[in-house]
Structure 1
Amino acid sequence: MVLVLQRTERVLDAILQPIVFLGMAALIGVITLQIVSRVLFTAVGWTEEVARFLLVWITFLGAALAFQRGRHIAVTFAVDALPGRPRQLARIAATLVVVAFMVALMVVGYRYMQVQSFQKSASLRLSMTYVYAVIPISAALMAWYAVVDLVEVILTGAPRHEETQP
């Protein structure tokens, strides 16, 4: 079961990495176009809006990638000081809190996305639903990664990304 979850995690990672990379490349291209057009020509009006939307998506999807790798800031000295079984129980409790928070963020993000669905962006006239959709999407990804971590903690005592760090 753990192998299937880890394989799914790797597939999601393989999908997210190029998306974030392409988003960064597009962001660099759009900002370069914005600078060049302002200096040499008439400013292109939609570049600022596209750059803002790309930054939002890159931030949330990048946060999901960082979460999957265990790269978010964590204060673990109290848990690390515990002996075997209490440490495992503390990790399970912390992971359950993360899953609950991500599920709540999915619900709130989805509701916010629905509330903003009637609003259009200023330059592109794009429905803001597409911009805010990244909130429940990234929360769902992080919830999935947390569930995988939870299963790993229950079965092995620690999530895989924590075991390999110095």
Structure 2
Amino acid sequence: MSPLAHSLLRTLRWSERTLDAVIAPVVFTAMAALIGVITLQVVSRVFFTAVGWTEEVARFLLVWITFLAATLAFRRGRHIAVTFVVDALPGLPRRLARIVALLVALGFLAALVTIGMEYMQVQSFQKSASLRLSMTWVYAVIPLAAAIMAWYALVDIVALALGEPRADVEGAGK
């Protein structure tokens, strides 16, 4: 691999690690908040009067956690995949099959970004029942997470095209 290609790949992988370093604590904090909100909800229902906003906050946190954690799983190759055929292929055909799979995923993720943006716009007039929060903020995670996963897929495609399998991901290079 040329020094320029190696430098490009190193920069792309640095961007992935940086995104991961931001997203992982956000997901952890959101999980802690979700536990706190649900605990408050249970305690308030059992001992006092139910706190009305807790159900809504829990639902919104769960949506955000789901999509952001999906980006972390995508980068680590932890989404469900049937790879026994690809894994059985020799070097170049295996790489090409992985590139094709990533291109399909990239197409899906690009469509999800577009659809998510449209959905945000359609729902922008709607406010949540308890918090009166614009639903745009709730649905913003869809295109955001899809764009992040699309970036990860693009980095993987570049790495495979340059002939270097993902060394920094569990299960890569099998």
Normalised TM-score (structure 2)? 0.91
Partner of 2:153: 146
Task: Say whether the 8 Å CA contact 1:150–1:159 is kept in structure 2.
Answer: no
Task: Say whether the 8 Å CA contact 1:24–1:58 is kept in structure 2.
Answer: yes
Task: Say whether the 8 Å CA contact 2:30–2:65 is kept in structure 1.
Answer: yes
Which of 143, 156, 162 does residue 155 from structure 1 map onto?
A: 162
Which segments of 5 or more consecutive residues in structure 1 lack a partner in the other structure?
Answer: none
Partner of 2:91: 84
User: Which digits, 9 at most, give the CA deviation of each residue in 1:85-144, with x for residues without a partner?
Assistant: 111111111111111111000000110111000111111111100000000000000000
Number of aligned residue pairs: give it: 166
Q: What CA distance in whole angstroms lies between the structure 1 residues aligned with 2:91 and 2:170?
A: 15
User: Which digits, 9 at most, give the CA deviation of each residue in 1:8-66, with x for residues without a partner?
Assistant: 10100000011000000000000010011111111000000000000000000000000
Please state how far the C-alpha of 1:165 moved relative to its aligned partner: 7.4
User: Superposed, which structure 2 residues align to 1:42-61 within 5 Å?
Assistant: 42-61=49-68
Please state how far the C-alpha of 1:153 moved relative to its aligned partner: 1.0
Aligned CA RMSD, in angstroms, stands at 1.4
State the 4+ residue runs in structure 1 displaced beyond 6 angstroms: none
Normalised TM-score (structure 1)? 0.96
Q: How high is the sequence identity, in percent, across the aligned residues? A: 68
Q: What CA distance in whole angstroms lies between the structure 1 residues aligned with 2:172 and 2:92?
A: 20
Q: Secondary structure of 2:77's partner?
A: coil
